Amino acid sequence: MADKRREIAPLLRPVFPEELAELHAALPPPPSFLQALRRPDGKLAVIAEIKRRSPSAGAIKESVSAVAQALRYRAAGASALSVLTDTKYFGGTLADLRDVTGEFARSGPPLPCLRKDFMVHPIQVLQARQAGASAILIIVRALGDDEIAALQHAATAAGLDVLYEIHKPEELQRAVGHGAKIIGVNNRDLAVFKTDLALSESLIPLFPKGVVAVSESGIATAADAARARACGAHAVLVGEALMKAADPAALIAEFQGAR
């Protein structure tokens, strides 16, 4: 987070809701991330992530084309995408998001894309909307309530959904206090990089009725997806397993059919 604050410091300026609303009105509306996670067939939605590397896994698929991977995911039946746009730790760029949404606009049908990054300022929300995102990420543990409110208000003005990421019960309460409609439990403890699906099993049952629940990290098999679904998850966010899979379509089908 400190690196991200330094990285965007030269870009910082006031970003008012009116500017974001005008931008939203001027651009084609993005597909709804929220709606994509509520599958009418009752199956588990899969948010397929484009991730070249990570601090926990190291190099995963460094040279992959974001567009090519996005097209594989779309053909495989993913409900939505998560596109890493942080360069230093994940090997992604904002251009990856722009290229993916641009390709979807040309070739259709589009999938909603989450801008996955360390979001700290509304200028990043403006960038996300310009790049065609449908949603942004808010990591609750990493931000103060004033910062969260500013990001949420900016996202609303820009017509974007928000995925609130939590790891503890107190973070769930903070997210709910900000009106979160989509909450994801990160099963990986970002302090020590330990992954435990029991976190989803303990926290998702506490979610208010109507909130879309996402289980993030540590989903690699149908059995993992079944555990997430059993505790109430509407969706799973999967990066490393899908990036490494020889047949992403088969793995996504396993996740969707998990019982």
Which phi and psi angles does 246 have, rounded to 5°? -70, -30
CB of 49 closer than 8 Å to CB of 84: yes
Which regions of 85-211 does DSSP assign to beta strands (E)?
A: 113-116, 135-139, 161-166, 182-186, 188-189, 194-195
For residues 158 and 69, give the distance between their C-alpha atoms in angstroms, rounded to a whole number: 27
- Secondary structure letter of residue 44 according to DSSP: P
Contacts of residue 72, Cβ cutoff 8 Å, sequence gap at least 6: 248, 249
For residues 219 and 37, give the distance between their C-alpha atoms in angstroms, rounded to a whole number: 16
CB of 57 closer than 8 Å to CB of 240: yes
CA 179 to chain centre: 17
How many other C-beta atoms are found inside a 10 Å radius of the C-beta of residue 1?
Answer: 12
Active-site residues, by number, are 49, 51, 116, 165, 186, 216-217
CB of 255 closer than 8 Å to CB of 55: no
